[in-house]
Amino acid sequence: MTETRRTHRSHVSYIDKSREYYAAHGYEQPYRWAANDEAPFTPLPKPLSECKVGLVTTAYFLPDGFVYRVPSDLPRIPATATKGQIDNLDTSHLSWAKDETHTDDPNSFLPLTQLERLVDEGRLGSLSERFYCLPTQFSHRQTQRRDAPQILEWMEEDDVDVALLVPL
Residue 47's DSSP bridge partners are none
Is 3 a member of any domain? no
Is 13 a member of any domain? no
The Cα 97–Cα 78 span in angstroms is 24
pLDDT on residue 156: 95
Backbone Cα Rg of the chain: 18
pLDDT on residue 8: 60
pLDDT on residue 155: 93
- State pLDDT tens for residues 32-90: 776 777 777 788 889 999 999 999 987 765 555 577 666 666 555 544 544 444 455 55
Is 126 a member of any domain? yes
Question: Is-contact 101 14, C-beta < 8 A?
Answer: no
Is 7 a member of any domain? no
Is 20 a member of any domain? no
Cα 131 to its chain centre, rounded Å, is 10
- State pLDDT tens for residues 91-118: 666 666 677 667 777 777 788 889 999 9
The Cα 156–Cα 98 span in angstroms is 34
Instruction: Report how many domains make up the chain.
Output: 1
What residues make up the domain containing 137?
46-166
